[in-house]
């Protein structure tokens, strides 16, 4: 286990201007603790910078994992390495550390529902033990992009030819995907098939998959099914679905209004409740639910203007917030916590909600910040 030249500094409750910035009418709270990441400068001649951005996830309610790319030592087989830290959720102290060689510029950090950490290193997946050593591994073909949700990792490879397998029989799109559903704990494939017309990534709970079709035609909506079987359209909402529990999903919906919505629906498509984010305009994604399914966190992209070309949307983001919301006894609750964050809004893994829903961690702008959720 080799230690890298990256330093951690616990800053306690010392906050910058962002900690007291206004989020609509809500003042961003001060963190329980925050850590500054000091990463060495990218050396000259090392090639393209890695596309992986810092990622964070909870191992359990007491520990979290942080991963980011660093330059490899001279003479290494790879130009980049993935530095992985396990921190105490209570105070940010280091509980474990390891460094992995990256193949290329892509890497990722996932967590199974049992608390197993899995790293994607460009050419393969590794399941890690509690000491961060490799328990098992699986090689990946080139061009495969992994996504993770719960106990599975979804391996997606685009293909240039059209396929006929879709949410409805005979539904043909101009491009398709080879999709494999792999268990995170064993790295064994449970199902593999061709799909077309579906938004990737999808949400998985047990053997059930929820995804959406966002194209502007009669097929758009939320779909539910079992892995590679034909999926049934259950709702005409437009947005990404995520499971809150075995019978409920939350959909980040952007209706024909100025404000985005969070809508909870059943697995039959019945709408249970809706929260309208009246202080915000823009898009919501992704949703990170707690294991209990009573709380979830979501990234909120506030846009500087409404008439924005879709391809340039990230250039016009004026503010990014992470909000925590609740769903209890069949009712949606107002915002429990809202934090303004800096840096690029693109990474899907720059925040996480603890399994019990009591803590929110955010990584970005060279810092890891931990917040208590009321």
**How do residues 18-41 score in pLDDT, each as one tens digit?**
333 333 334 578 999 999 886 655
Range of the structural domain that residue 26 is part of: 7-140+237-372
- pLDDT of 328 reads 86
- pLDDT of 19 reads 34
Is 226 within the bounds of a domain? no
Is 315 within the bounds of a domain? yes
Is 185 within the bounds of a domain? no
Is 291 within the bounds of a domain? yes
Place of tokens 């961690």: 361
Is 232 within the bounds of a domain? no
- pLDDT of 217 reads 59
Q: Which among 177, 197, 181 has a CA at the least distance from the CA of 189?
A: 181
Tell me if residue 316 falls in helix, strand or coil. Answer: helix
The count of domains in the chain is 1
pLDDT along the chain (374 residues), means of 10: 41 34 52 83 52 82 90 84 94 94 80 83 88 91 66 68 38 58 86 69 78 69 83 86 89 71 92 84 73 83 53 53 89 89 59 92 87 94
Q: Angle 346-49-19 (CA atoms, 0-180°, nearest 5)?
A: 45
- pLDDT of 93 reads 95
End-to-end CA, the chain = 38
> What does the block give as tokens for 341?
């964050």
Rounded Cα distance, 263 and 240, in Å: 11
- pLDDT of 159 reads 56
- Predicted model pTM: 0.81
Is 11 within the bounds of a domain? yes
Tell me if residue 46 falls in helix, strand or coil. Answer: coil
Residues in the chain: 374
- pLDDT of 290 reads 81
Alpha-carbon distances of 333 from 243, 251, 281, 323, rounded to whole Å: 17, 15, 19, 12
Is 254 within the bounds of a domain? yes
Is 64 within the bounds of a domain? yes
Cβ-Cβ contacts under 8 Å for 315 (sequence gap 6 or more): none
Rounded Cα distance, 173 and 167, in Å: 11
Instruction: Indicate the average pLDDT of the chain.
Output: 75
């Amino acid at each position: 286990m080799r230690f890298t030249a990256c330093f951690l500094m616990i800053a306690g409750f010392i906050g910058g201007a962002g900690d007291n910035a206004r989020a609509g009418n809500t003042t961003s709270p001060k963190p329980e603790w925050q850590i500054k990441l000091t990463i060495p400068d990218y050396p000259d001649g090392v090639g393209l910078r890695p596309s992986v951005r810092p990622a964070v996830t909870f191992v359990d309610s007491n520990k979290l994992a942080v991963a980011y790319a660093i330059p490899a030592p001279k003479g290494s087989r790879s130009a980049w390495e993935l530095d992985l830290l396990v921190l105490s959720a209570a105070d940010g102290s280091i509980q474990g550390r390891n460094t992995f060689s990256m193949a290329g510029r892509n890497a990722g950090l996932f967590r199974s529902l049992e608390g197993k950490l899995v790293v994607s290193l460009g050419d393969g997946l590794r399941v890690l033990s509690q000491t961060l050593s490799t328990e098992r591994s699986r090689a990946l073909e080139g061009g495969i992009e992994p996504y993770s949700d719960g106990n599975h990792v979804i391996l997606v490879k685009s293909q240039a030819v059209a396929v006929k397998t879709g949410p409805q029989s005979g539904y043909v799109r101009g491009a398709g995907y080879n999709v494999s559903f792999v268990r995170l704990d064993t790295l064994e494939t449970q199902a593999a098939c061709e799909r077309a017309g579906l938004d990737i990534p999808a949400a998985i709970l047990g053997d059930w998959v929820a995804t959406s079709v966002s194209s502007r035609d009669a097929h758009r909506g939320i779909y539910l099914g079992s892995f590679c079987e034909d999926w049934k359209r259950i709702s005409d909402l437009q947005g990404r679905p995520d499971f809150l529990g075995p019978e409920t999903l939350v959909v980040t919906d952007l209706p024909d209004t100025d404000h985005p919505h969070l809508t909870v629906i059943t697995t039959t498509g019945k709408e249970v409740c809706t929260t309208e984010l009246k202080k915000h305009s823009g898009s919501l994604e992704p949703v990170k639910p707690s294991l209990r399914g009573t709380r979830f966190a979501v990234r909120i992209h506030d846009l500087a203007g409404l008439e924005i070309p879709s391809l340039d949307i990230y250039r016009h983001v004026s503010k990014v917030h992470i909000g925590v919301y609740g769903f209890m006894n069949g009712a949606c609750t107002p915002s429990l916590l809202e934090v303004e964050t800096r840096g690029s809004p693109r990474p899907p893994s720059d925040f996480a909600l603890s399994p019990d829903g009591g803590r929110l961690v955010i990584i970005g702008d060279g810092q890891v910040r931990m917040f208590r959720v009321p």
